Structure 1
Amino acid sequence: MSLVALITGTNSNLGLNIAYRLLVEVPSETRLTIIVTSRTLPKAIEAINKIKEHNEKHVRRIAILDFDYVLVDFSNMVSILAAIYELKKNHNKLDYLFINAAQGVYSGIDWIQATKEVLSNPVQASTFPTYKIQKVGVKSSDGLGLVFQANVFGPYYFVQHLAEPLLSHSKNPRVVWISSIMSKPSFLSFDDLQLLRSDISYEGSKRLVDLLHLGSYKELKSRYGINQYLTHPGIFTSFSFFQYLNPLTFYGMLLMFYVARLCGSPWHNISGWKGANAPIFVCLKANPELDLQEKKYGSACTITGKEYLKITEVDATGQADVAKYFEDLKLQWDEKLKNQIADTRKVYADD
């Protein structure tokens, strides 16, 4: 038996820990292929080496462990098309696809606001912070909202074009979307779906992920036999925001996370390993007949740090409109890119 898993955003803390947990939780006698993604070759090789090292030091799988990589920038449609082309050329199936896109357009921290929030309510400050400053109106080279494209539309286009033949050729295909605890309905305006006027575009993109999942999972199941799940990793230390923290503020953040956990927050997992619990569960253990796909599966932990799964409802308001918007946009880009499919690698090299 063999399994092939593709993890987008592999170099992130969560992406690497999803890979590490696959090494442990996929039966050791199963041949496992992990496909990493990155925008650059050095980062792809770095991710592969970290996963190899983890296996050699901590796991030592019995069966063959294979690796592949695909270079893809989800804010560039030609790059996405090139990645689809390469995957279809080099693989005959795809069992698990983890959509772990998490790009933001941060420009810093409002330290005055951060201090006020931390002193008044550390749990709220570390769960739903409002002090991270995000740029407004940033577009990609394709003219789309950058965060919208990188976190939602680009991955959606990726999934749709891998459904047939790669995912549909698996005996038990799973698509796992990584959303966020920070995906409140109030963070998204339906007259700004590309998030170009939003100063909380990251959070808005995760709300879009929720709605897009609700609006697309049934069709993936009926057309291709693909089970799609919605998850979130809770709160954990992320590499993406380190540039705005010095050692003092980093350890201050960690302390705040532990305080929030001690105050009863179930979401402060802190470690990427625990954050990967829900994505791995829906990938390897969920029963589609019992574990409903309209729910959101969250990685949670107790006060003492013991991990568990916490399942929540998702507000479905607007999911049909979001699904239609994305399908229409996909068709537009299919038309724009139709003449570039024959030799995608050359097009990408010239881009």
Structure 2
Amino acid sequence: MAPAPWDSVPPEDTLFALVTGANSGIGFAICQRLIDEYLVTRSLTSHLVVIPTTRSVKKSQETIDALRQHAREFATTSDILRSRAGPNYDPRSITKRIHILSVQLDLCNLADVHRAAEQLVNGTVSSPADANDVYFTSLTDVRIPRLDAVIFNAGMGGWTGLDWPKVFHNIFTKGLVQATTWPTFKAATAGHVVNPLPDAKDEKVPEMGQVFCANVFGHYLLAHKLVPLLSRSEFDSTIPPGRIIWESSIEPGWKNLSLSDFQAIKTNAAYESTKRLTDVLSLTATLPSARPFVDSYLQPATKSNAPATPPRIYLVHPGIVQTTLFPLNAFMFFWYRVVLYIARWLGSPWHPITGYNGAVAPVWLALQEQEALDAVDAEHVKWGSSTDFWGECRVLKTEVEGWGWDGTVGTRKELKNEKGERRIGRKIVGRKSGAVDLTEEKKVEFEMLGVECWKEMERLRGEWEARLGRVLERQ
């Protein structure tokens, strides 16, 4: 095992972040923004280790190369870095502290999830650099000592295109801003399933909802297996616990999640169902009624007698971002982008549009000081990426049906009288049309739903880990 550049650096001057689905779209943009903001906010001796996951070795190498190119360009052109370092500034002193590693991960293959987690927890990772590359350090068989943040971005939509009658109906009845923020015109089909253990040749394996597996369960199992890297022992008291950052969307509400179709197989809105489940699980993770299930989930797979501080769970969404996740041809892709900009100019705070802008909330959660997050009770909020008319980025609280903005029951009068940073900083701005104020009854219903969801997820985890164990024994 080779020594790593960060081995001689104090733990508080390093950050280890894993981002799933990072070879393109929002995931790639999260990695870019993470590099940029880390470099301009941390000391000039700090090291950042970014671990993007992809589904193939080829994509991993392409992602590493692209992120290194981004880091090189940022270090070369950043006036902030140049002013901080002084007249003898050398961009290579910056890029040598940025380390891009990658692992392959197929979230719809639970054996692959296990393999990726095992590599990170007990194995080594490599990221060779070209012999003539003077900007980056070649890494061979290095260990990852911990993870400070895992950002669960990867997933699938399950959409097939646009329902054109609904497109026009949405726009003419709700207005452009509401229609493009909470659309109901995305066409999709039900019945998408997958075999999450394709290597189980000698055992009949039940199918699982494909979108559910990609968006929720694969990540859920991965996080559990990464708990040893995310937890902090009594010897790591200077380092905050790791952060599990779930990426949701702005859209889902009460109607999108049904306990009778927990894996979103029967619904035509599987994506929205899985994102509602993500909201419910994340926001109820600290409730006393859910603690028995959450404590079991955040217990390391290999139990130790040493006390450990478990990771924290946070929730974000990127706002409305144009990505290739939704299937559009080139012509429609262009005009969709134009429509999104018009929605922003009409006053929507939820249209970051670009992946880099949409990455502001997850990166903020990954880099923010723990004391600052605790001060705003960040675990009980769905944090959204937002922009103003000019595209200036910020992070805002997002209303969740049954939970409000932070689990607090308020009144309409309090919302109207709220003062915010300019117009965009007020909760009532950008609110969904017809939104109902949170009541104690609805909050209790949401909390009860959270307990049921945690219970079912833990049941599924136990069931599938048993199957996975049998498959691994036969290999």
Does the TM-score normalized on the shorter chain lie above 0.5?
yes
The answer to whether the aligner puts 1:98 opposite 2:134 as a matched pair is no
Query: Residue 251 of structure 1: CA displacement?
Result: 2.1
* Aligned with 2:229 (options 162, 166, 169): 166
Conserved? CA contact 1:12–1:239, under 8 Å: no
Segment of structure 1 superposing worse, 22-31 or 211-220: 211-220
- 1:190 Cα deviation (Å)? 1.9
Q: Which moved more, 1:117-126 or 1:3-12?
A: 117-126
Q: Would you say 1:246 and 2:258 are equivalent positions?
A: no
- Separation in 1 of the partners of 2:251 and 2:309? 31
Kindly indicate whether the alpha-carbon contact (under 8 Å) linking 2:19 and 2:150 is maintained by their aligned counterparts in 1: yes
Tell me which residue corresponds to 2:392.
Answer: 306
Matches within 5 A, 1:36-185: 36-59=52-75, 60=91, 61-88=94-121, 89-90=123-124, 91-120=144-173, 121-142=175-196, 143-163=207-227, 165-169=228-232, 171-172=239-240, 173-185=242-254
Relative distance call for 1:313 and 1:131 in structure 2 (3 A) is closer
CA distance in 1: counterparts of 2:365 and 2:376, whole angstroms: 8
Choose the corresponding residue for 1:197, options 266, 269, 273: 266
State the secondary structure of the residue aligned to 1:19: helix
Q: Is the 8 A contact 1:227 1:288 kept in 2?
A: no
2-side partners of 1:55 and 1:240: how far apart? Answer: 25
Shift of the alpha carbon at 1:128? 1.6
**CA-CA distance at 1:335 after TM superposition:** 1.3
Task: Give the drift of 1:141.
Answer: 1.2
Q: Deviations over 1:175-203 (max 9, x none)?
A: 11111101212211121110011101101
| Unpaired runs of at least 5, structure 2 | 1-12, 76-90, 125-143, 197-206, 300-306, 404-445
- Note the C-alpha offset of 1:119: 4.7
Q: CA deviation at 1:303?
A: 1.7
Contact 1:75 1:146 in 2 (8 A): yes
Q: Distance in 1 between matches of 2:393 and 2:14?
A: 28
How far the C-alpha of 1:223 sits from its partner, in A, is: 6.1
Q: Distance in 2 between matches of 1:76 and 1:134?
A: 23
| TM-score normalised per structure 2 | 0.68
**1:18 matched residue in structure 2:** 30
Q: Per-residue deviation at 1:99?
A: 0.5
Q: What is residue 227 of structure 1 aligned with on the other side? A: 312
In the other structure, the counterpart of 1:255 is 338
Partner SS for 1:191: helix
CA RMSD, Structure 1 to Structure 2 (Å): 2.1
Given that residues 36 and 44 in structure 1 are in contact (C-alpha distance below 8 angstroms), is that contact kept between their aligned partners in structure 2?
yes
Query: 1:8 corresponds to which residue?
Result: 20
Deviations 1:93-147 (A, max 9, x none): 1111001022122222223332443455221221122222112011111311001
- The amino acid across from 1:245 in the alignment is N
Please say which structure displays the higher CA radius of gyration: 2
2:382 is equivalent to residue 296 of structure 1: yes
* CA shift in 2, pair 1:166/1:260, >3 Å: same
3-state SS of the aligned residue for 1:180? coil
- The one of the two structures with greater contact order (alpha-carbon pairs below 8 A, sep at least 6) is 1
Residue 300 of structure 1 and its aligned partner are, at CA, apart by 0.8
- Output the CA distance in 1 between the equivalents of 2:120 and 2:265: 31
The letter for the 2-side match of 1:40 is S
Q: Equivalent pairs: percent with the same residue?
A: 32
Q: SS of 2:151's equivalent?
A: strand
1:166 deviates by 1.0
Distance 1:37 1:245 in 2: 27
Secondary structure in structure 1 of the residue aligned to 2:261: coil
2: CA distance between counterparts of 1:204 and 1:272? 23
Distance in 2 (alpha carbons) for counterparts of 1:225 and 1:323: 17
Question: How many positions carry a matched residue from both structures?
Answer: 341
CA distance in 1, matches of 2:361, 2:97: 26
Tell me by how many angstroms 1:216 deviates.
3.1
Deviations, residues 304-336 of structure 1 (Å, cap 9, x unaligned): 221111113433511111011101111111211
Q: 1:146 to 1:223 in 2, by over 3 A?
A: farther
CA contact (8 A) 2:22 2:154 kept: no
- 1:268 deviates by 0.5
Relative to the length of structure 1, the TM-score reads 0.90
Deviations 1:144-178 (A, max 9, x none): 10011110111011111111x11114722111111
Q: Distance in 1 between matches of 2:155 and 2:389?
A: 27
Are the equivalent residues in 2 in contact too, given 1:233–1:276 (CA < 8 A)? yes
1:232-257 Cα deviation digits (max 9, x unpaired)? 1101111222x42223x222111211
Residues 1:333 and 2:464 aligned together: yes
Aligned with 1:188 (options 257, 262, 272): 257
Among candidates 35, 38, 45, match of residue 29 of structure 1:
45
How many angstroms does 1:32 deviate by? 1.5
Q: In structure 1, what is the equivalent of residue 351 of structure 2? A: 268
SS of 1:240's partner is coil
Name the SS for the 1:330 alignment partner: helix
- Matches of 1:342 and 1:283, distance apart in 2: 37
Evaluate the alpha carbon distance shift between residue 181 and residue 223 of structure 1 in structure 2; reply closer, same or farther with a 3 A threshold. farther
Give the letter aligned to residue 151 of structure 1: N
Q: Aligned AA for 1:226?
A: P
Conservation of the 8 A alpha-carbon contact between 1:29 and 1:62: no
Distance 1:71 1:342, change over 3 A: farther
Partner amino acid for 1:152?
A: V
For 1:250 and 1:201, the matched residues in 2 are separated by 23
* Contact 2:72-2:95 at 8 Å conserved across structures: no
Distance 1:231 1:257 in 2: 20
Q: C-alpha displacement at 1:224, in angstroms?
A: 3.3
